[in-house]
Structure 1
Amino acid sequence: ITQPQPGGFTQRAGTDGRRTNPRTITAEVFHPGCAGGTCTTAVSRHPTSDDSGTRECKGLGCKLPVRMRQKPKPCVGDGCGAHGGADARGNPSPVHVTDRAAQFLEELPDLGSQRGAWIQMTCDMKSTNDVPSEDALVLQLQLSKDQEKMVEALRGQQDEVRELQRLLSEQQGTLVIQQREILEQQRRMFEQMEEDRDECLEITDLCGDQHKCLNTPGFRCHGMTARDAASGMCGHGYFFNSDVDECQACNECDGESVASPCTLTTDAICFGPAAADAALSLSWAGDVSLPGAKGHILTRSFDSVELHIRGRGGAAALVSPEDGRLVLRQHGLVWLDENLSVSHGCRSFIQVCLRMNGTDDSEGRDLSGVRVEQRDRRSLQGVSISGVAEVAPGHAISLSVRSASQHCNDSSESLQLHEPSAAPFSLLWLSHDTGAVAMTAQASVSVHYHTNYRPVFRTTSTSDPYVVGLTHDGRAIRFAESGTVRFVFQQALYSMGQACVSEGFQILAYLNHNGTGTELSRTFKPGVHYRDTSISLSGASAVGPGDTLGFEILSPPQCNVRFFGDETGISTLSLVWVPAALSSSLSASVSHSGLPSGAVRNKPLFFRQTSAHVSQMELQGTGSADQRRDFVFKEGGTAGLSLDLKLIHSCNIIKVTLLRRADPERSEGGREADAAPTVPLAQQVGGQKPEGSRWARVSLRASFQVQNGTAVFFTLDCVRGRVNQISHQTGSAVSILWVAA
């Protein structure tokens, strides 16, 4: 009995009474001769060219690309037969039979076609999370618009924050200005309350004896002479009025600039606001002290100490001391000088620095720096530091002392300043209307030790690179127009060798004119062994178009020197150039005759002029041409001066002082009025000569106002010792820059 089966096939029983597998029947239809379970061994199919590509293809994998088809896995285990597709009894595996049946079904002929039909089984799978392409595009566009709106909102918030910050800065600036005005008003009120005070009761030891003091609008000392007044008996902030024979308070020049500062015998002379705006050059002088009650002694270890600068007069239109700093009130160029006498107990060197800060204290830079070496035997060391800068209203100048290490507490006095008899700090201000140019350049660091050394510079700042700039090799400064230049070069160094101590160092300045080099100036510095120190040279000279200025440092043989440089100004060239129509210069060396020696007490120094004569000033005096001491100015203006002395002495303290004659008139017959009072303008104080060194050095720099007929001169003073010799050949000279007012 045959029963119909799906697909048009019937199922029949085998001869052995067992039911035959339909798949086996299918195999027999397409493979004649195949019967029963012997189909896998009795029938073998040879591949043709048409199915060469699908030899290993079975089942649904045939519809996949060749590279995606699954490789047949090898048979592993006991059940694997010789053909890999039979079980342990030799019967074909049901899985492999199914695959072969599917392979044979692919070859069924199509009833309506001459070519074979393919039974294709496909499985279309679609994720339920898929989004239509149009919806995805709309969603993406919407997200992009939302993101743009968010970015735009953030930008708006940033703009609002910036505007709030700007308004806050303006308000803070307004508050600072108001606070300054309030402090200024309080200061004026305080000063007004002190015009009527009783100095005789408030100031101790006034007039030497309180019973000799008589209270007046100022005060009067019984029996005080003009010589007593010239020695400073009136005290700080007072001058001796010879018309009424009493000490009176100095004029503060509120809201005006100082044409001439207050001295021991003359009151301050003030410029009006209009005159200050029209001035081409001005000067200012002030005092410097350590912070604290004592003012000149620091009894603790320190890393950096900012010195306090305070004025001796008004000059509010030009500068004003605030919180120990000097705040500029006018646009222009400033040349700064400081004469410092210091002793310290630090184990290494200390460094004196001039620094300029911006209007908001955010930007600042060191203008200049000088290192003061360690001494085995503590003594005063006199150093001079100078610098130049282009300034604007609100810029602040500060002076500080820094320690290389904090080991400065080996005694009760780690740092001590000597109080001079004249203002140690001074500045020369030049208006932009003069056409002056300021330039600073830093010397490069030497990686090797040298004996003789020519520094190479790189420009740090210049207000006009056309007029003043560096040569192509950086070893000199070139000038494009005629004028007068004042310069200072400061170089930090470290030396090794006893020859350094015994002979010391020298620094020279050369001026090259039309291919011919001329030595302008030379200075001396005592040497050190296994220590850090600094050497500096300052001078003034007339220059022409094409002239160049260069420097060289000379060291003794068998002395190894390393030269340093960094951003603290320890190896910096500072220079100011003024057009020839508004300036002139004068140079002079110490005269070989009439030099003070022995027990010297306030003896004058004599010079001989070495530069060409100019109409604005001259070296004048009685006696021979080699014995002149007074520098006389013929026109009003501002002068900047520098002096270097190379000498041998045994003094505990050596002083050099610049004085101005209060009465420059000369008596008839060529005799000077020696009894005329004098006013100290600047002073430098040094201590004992360094051990092992033959020579010592004293330097002094200052700026001051001059008028027609103003005369200045130098004196030398030795305390507890004697002066043996002053070098008149090299290392002892003076140079002066004059600028019209």
Structure 2
Amino acid sequence: MGHLNWTVQLLSVLAVSTLLCVRAQDISVFDEFPDDLGFDDLGSAIGPIFPRPAVFPECTAGSSCVLSCRYTDDKGNVLPNRAPVRLTMDKQEERLRALVSRQEEVIYQQGLLEQQQQQLVNLLQASTADQQLAALDSETCLSCSPTQWCEREGKTQCRDCTVCQGGYRARSDCTKFSDATCIDIDECREGTDTCKADQLCVNTQGTFVCVESVGRCPKDSYFDLKTKKCESCSVCTEGISFLYLPCGVVNDSVCTPSVGATLSSLWMGKINDPSLVTRAENLANGIKVDLNSFHSQNNSYFQNMPRKGMVKFRKHGFVTVTFNFAARHSCNDFLQFGVRTSELGGLAAARLTELSGKYFQGSTISTTVEVDPQDELSLDVKSGTYYCFKNSNDARYSTTFEEIAADNLAGPMSLLWLSHESAAVFLRAETRQTTYETGWRATFNMKETSDHYILRLDSYTYFNIREGGNLRFSFMQAYFLSGQACRSNGLVVIPKLLKRDGQVIDLFENYQRGVPLQYNSILTAGSVPVEYNDKLFFDVETARSCKMYFYGNNEGVGTVSLLWVPFRQSALYAGMLVNGEDLFGVGEETQLRFQEVNNTDTRTLRQLRNGKLKFKRSGRILVDYHGVLMHSCAYAKVTVYYENRPGATPIPFAQQVQGKTDSEKEGLVLSGAYTVKANSRIYLTLTCAEGRVNEVFNGRVNAVSVLWFPP
């Protein structure tokens, strides 16, 4: 037996008894005690438990001193059945080495103690500073009257609660730390207007107007409520302003100053095809969907071609596509929306599983692609069966494409263009078709990358990043589940980051409820700061005995896209939900609050105390959100709002719905892009229609990321 085994055996004995050592020459030894084991070997292993040779001054250099060690109890009685130990010290140098070794150990322990003391001092100082600030806030807030609320953004002060005037109702009450918010009452929708039967009721802020001559206004005109006449819609000037509110029945176009388009540009639009659900075409082959731009005219980067149902790109660059959509259908197999380009074919596609058609199902498409001038992007819809439209010639089939959600429920489509001058790098890969049970690490085939040095795919699994920056990823995957175990546990996609030191970081968890024997798809998208030689990969988990089939084809139903941007040309914020408990039982629109996890540039992005994210510089943003909730609502909706300045009317620029879940856990994903100005802010809300929210989960299953680019 070696020295180490002997040390362990001896220590186990010392733990229950006392080792008493005296000088002797005629003692027995352990049967397996090695003859060449000196005091220095054993003493260095058991430290101060064993007596040092300094207590025996007779042992000098050149002499041989033998110690007889017997085991005694706490009263000094020798324990029976314990073999004594024999230790021999042959040289003075062994004693000196033991003393030096112990002294070095003491010095090392003293150093550790000093470090711990300094850390404790730092923690106490930081805690004291936080307590002082909290005490100052507390004193001010305690002085607020019952009709006031305490504002803690900037200078802490008491402010009078807002009182909703006529034509408005409270959306949220005034509390200790938040003001009341008022929303306009839509008298026309609620039927409280006094318009005649032949008049059109038009809701306005705080009131309503009865209009008689709306129908006589020509195209590209609107009815001016002040002049009572038809007026031409304003046209936003290219390069000087852009449109964020299109011309309507009774409102003119609203243009805002452009922040420029040197490094980035943005196109936003929606489906413009009311007849889509009434066609009698073969949906199994796919049909093109008309797109309508929110902008009043084209610019130097995009050309909208609504008659052809596509958008044409005018410059080289990288384009990130996001499209939130929802539909009600009972088409056999699935209903699929996909985006494609004239050059590459199918880029990305998302499927909605076959259901009764009573409730909305929402899904999101998101991908990044490199484009050239004259490349065209289009949107198409298809199903696994011909028999899907309402007016199908074969009455034997009752499956129908019922409805596409309006853009105020799910939408819009956004195209964020990024110049090569931003030093961005792009990569695209496709899923390898596979079948797995319980767990799966996604594998891919490389399609293209703009810079193989910065981004590459290793071993079909790991996306290797060779330089620090901000990375935006989107993983779209169509799948088919088999087995009842799939229903209870669902499907979880976990993007992970493998660091250089071997540490693995779970970025978040994206959950989707399992529906056995049905086609479906899941999007996992977000942004994360990366360092040299980090590796991104995706793990998929489900229940034991749940078989998963994953597909990859030329339509983009299984694909990964990466967009890497250097730190100097981007800023990133990431947060995780913290107010899930406050959303229990909520029926009205309520703000989601997140705890900051990452912020790569506080000069550009800042999270305020009210939970909103403030932009200190103008630019463009990509927002990705995923969450898990349970509700009994007809639908739950998450909306991203933009405020041009504090107190301004918030503008919704991305939204997604989730149909009734029958109080089962279900995931919701949303992506969108927008143009922001300096000192503007964004925030997210949750709305429940005709029901209540039962649970919203905190932590990494409910997270948001915002990636900012210069204009």
TM-score normalised by the chain length of structure 1: 0.62
State the match for 2:558 in structure 1: 571
Q: How many residues are paired up?
A: 497
Q: Which amino acid aligns with 2:629?
A: L
State the match for 1:336 in structure 2: 321
The 8 Å contact of residues 258 and 315 in structure 1, kept in 2 or not, is answered as no
State the match for 1:551 in structure 2: 538
The 8 Å contact of residues 342 and 381 in structure 1, kept in 2 or not, is answered as yes
Q: 1:453 is paired with a residue of what secondary structure? A: strand
Q: 1:449 is paired with a residue of what secondary structure? A: strand
The 8 Å contact of residues 420 and 684 in structure 1, kept in 2 or not, is answered as no
Per the TM alignment, residue 302 of structure 1 is displaced from its structure 2 partner at its CA by 2.2
Q: Which amino acid aligns with 1:370?
A: A
Query: Aligned pair in 2 of structure 1 residues 347, 435: CA closer, same or farther (>3 Å)?
Result: same
More strand, by proportion = 2
Separation of aligned partners in 2, 1:638 and 1:237? 29
State the match for 1:695 in structure 2: 665
State the match for 2:461 in structure 1: 475
State the match for 1:425 in structure 2: 413
TM-score normalised by the chain length of structure 2: 0.64
Separation of aligned partners in 1, 2:508 and 2:234? 40
Q: Which amino acid aligns with 2:535?
A: T
Per the TM alignment, residue 449 of structure 1 is displaced from its structure 2 partner at its CA by 3.0
What aligned pairs does 1:221-240 form with structure 2 within 5 A after superposition?
Answer: 224-225=204-205
State the match for 2:616 in structure 1: 634
State the match for 1:509 in structure 2: 495
Query: Aligned pair in 2 of structure 1 residues 508, 377: CA closer, same or farther (>3 Å)?
Result: same
Q: Which amino acid aligns with 1:337?
A: T
Deviations 1:51-81, CA, capped at 9 Å, x for gaps: xxxxxxxxxxxxxxxxxxxxxxxxxxxxxxx
State the match for 1:539 in structure 2: 526
**Residue 489 (structure 1) aligned with residue 475 (structure 2):** yes
Query: Aligned pair in 2 of structure 1 residues 606, 594: CA closer, same or farther (>3 Å)?
Result: farther
Larger radius of gyration: 1
Separation of aligned partners in 1, 2:224 and 2:468? 45
C-alpha RMSD of the superposition: 3.5
Per the TM alignment, residue 599 of structure 1 is displaced from its structure 2 partner at its CA by 4.2
Per the TM alignment, residue 621 of structure 1 is displaced from its structure 2 partner at its CA by 3.7
**Aligned residue among 256, 269, 292 for 1:286:** 269
Separation of aligned partners in 2, 1:307 and 1:387? 19
State the match for 1:651 in structure 2: 633
Separation of aligned partners in 1, 2:569 and 2:224? 35
Q: 1:731 is paired with a residue of what secondary structure? A: strand
Separation of aligned partners in 2, 1:616 and 1:245? 48
State the match for 1:587 in structure 2: 574
**Aligned residue among 694, 697, 707 for 1:724:** 694
Paired-residue identity, %: 26
**Residue 302 (structure 1) aligned with residue 288 (structure 2):** no
Q: 2:266 is paired with a residue of what secondary structure? A: strand
Per the TM alignment, residue 420 of structure 1 is displaced from its structure 2 partner at its CA by 2.4
State the match for 1:396 in structure 2: 376
Q: 2:318 is paired with a residue of what secondary structure? A: strand
Per the TM alignment, residue 418 of structure 1 is displaced from its structure 2 partner at its CA by 0.9
Per the TM alignment, residue 465 of structure 1 is displaced from its structure 2 partner at its CA by 1.3
Q: Which amino acid aligns with 1:708?
A: A
State the match for 1:383 in structure 2: 363
Per the TM alignment, residue 309 of structure 1 is displaced from its structure 2 partner at its CA by 0.9
**Aligned residue among 424, 439, 445 for 2:433:** 445
Query: Aligned pair in 2 of structure 1 residues 327, 500: CA closer, same or farther (>3 Å)?
Result: same
Separation of aligned partners in 2, 1:489 and 1:697? 15
**Aligned residue among 341, 346, 351 for 1:366:** 346
State the match for 1:316 in structure 2: 299
The 8 Å contact of residues 481 and 515 in structure 2, kept in 1 or not, is answered as yes
The 8 Å contact of residues 437 and 545 in structure 2, kept in 1 or not, is answered as no
The 8 Å contact of residues 300 and 414 in structure 1, kept in 2 or not, is answered as no
**Residue 349 (structure 1) aligned with residue 334 (structure 2):** yes
Separation of aligned partners in 1, 2:626 and 2:223? 32
Deviations 1:511-536, CA, capped at 9 Å, x for gaps: 12222211112211110111221122
Separation of aligned partners in 2, 1:302 and 1:443? 25
Query: Aligned pair in 2 of structure 1 residues 684, 633: CA closer, same or farther (>3 Å)?
Result: same
Q: 2:508 is paired with a residue of what secondary structure? A: strand
The 8 Å contact of residues 502 and 694 in structure 1, kept in 2 or not, is answered as no
The 8 Å contact of residues 642 and 734 in structure 1, kept in 2 or not, is answered as yes
State the match for 1:253 in structure 2: 236
Q: 1:253 is paired with a residue of what secondary structure? A: coil
Q: Which amino acid aligns with 1:384?
A: T
Deviations 1:77-124, CA, capped at 9 Å, x for gaps: xxxxxxxxxxxxxxxxxxxxxxxxxxxxxxxxxxxxxxxxxxxxxxxx
The 8 Å contact of residues 226 and 677 in structure 1, kept in 2 or not, is answered as no
Q: Which amino acid aligns with 1:262?
A: L
**Aligned residue among 291, 294, 312 for 1:327:** 312
Query: Aligned pair in 2 of structure 1 residues 227, 481: CA closer, same or farther (>3 Å)?
Result: farther
Separation of aligned partners in 1, 2:231 and 2:649? 17
Stretches of structure 2 lacking an aligned partner (at least 5 in a row): 1-191, 390-396
**Residue 615 (structure 1) aligned with residue 602 (structure 2):** yes
Separation of aligned partners in 1, 2:198 and 2:680? 33
**Residue 460 (structure 1) aligned with residue 447 (structure 2):** yes
Q: Which amino acid aligns with 1:356?
A: T
Separation of aligned partners in 2, 1:581 and 1:543? 13
Deviations 1:423-469, CA, capped at 9 Å, x for gaps: 511111101111111211011111x4321100111211111111111
State the match for 1:706 in structure 2: 676
The 8 Å contact of residues 645 and 697 in structure 1, kept in 2 or not, is answered as yes
Q: Which amino acid aligns with 1:717?
A: T
Separation of aligned partners in 2, 1:705 and 1:731? 27
Separation of aligned partners in 2, 1:536 and 1:365? 20
Q: Which amino acid aligns with 1:382?
A: G
State the match for 2:549 in structure 1: 562
Query: Aligned pair in 2 of structure 1 residues 339, 209: CA closer, same or farther (>3 Å)?
Result: farther
Separation of aligned partners in 2, 1:325 and 1:508? 34
Per the TM alignment, residue 377 of structure 1 is displaced from its structure 2 partner at its CA by 5.5
The 8 Å contact of residues 485 and 540 in structure 1, kept in 2 or not, is answered as yes
Separation of aligned partners in 1, 2:640 and 2:221? 20
The 8 Å contact of residues 265 and 679 in structure 1, kept in 2 or not, is answered as no
Separation of aligned partners in 1, 2:198 and 2:258? 33
Q: 1:502 is paired with a residue of what secondary structure? A: helix
The 8 Å contact of residues 628 and 702 in structure 2, kept in 1 or not, is answered as yes
Deviations 1:266-295, CA, capped at 9 Å, x for gaps: 8223659xx54xx10122211113363xx5
The 8 Å contact of residues 622 and 672 in structure 2, kept in 1 or not, is answered as yes
**Residue 682 (structure 1) aligned with residue 636 (structure 2):** no
Q: 2:437 is paired with a residue of what secondary structure? A: coil
Query: Aligned pair in 2 of structure 1 residues 243, 301: CA closer, same or farther (>3 Å)?
Result: same
Q: Which amino acid aligns with 1:491?
A: Q
Per the TM alignment, residue 406 of structure 1 is displaced from its structure 2 partner at its CA by 1.1
Query: Aligned pair in 2 of structure 1 residues 470, 406: CA closer, same or farther (>3 Å)?
Result: same
Query: Aligned pair in 2 of structure 1 residues 562, 262: CA closer, same or farther (>3 Å)?
Result: same
Deviations 1:290-342, CA, capped at 9 Å, x for gaps: 363xx565566622121111101124222122121111122211000000011
Per the TM alignment, residue 597 of structure 1 is displaced from its structure 2 partner at its CA by 2.5
Query: Aligned pair in 2 of structure 1 residues 227, 535: CA closer, same or farther (>3 Å)?
Result: farther
Per the TM alignment, residue 378 of structure 1 is displaced from its structure 2 partner at its CA by 3.7
Q: Which amino acid aligns with 1:677?
A: T
Deviations 1:149-173, CA, capped at 9 Å, x for gaps: xxxxxxxxxxxxxxxxxxxxxxxxx
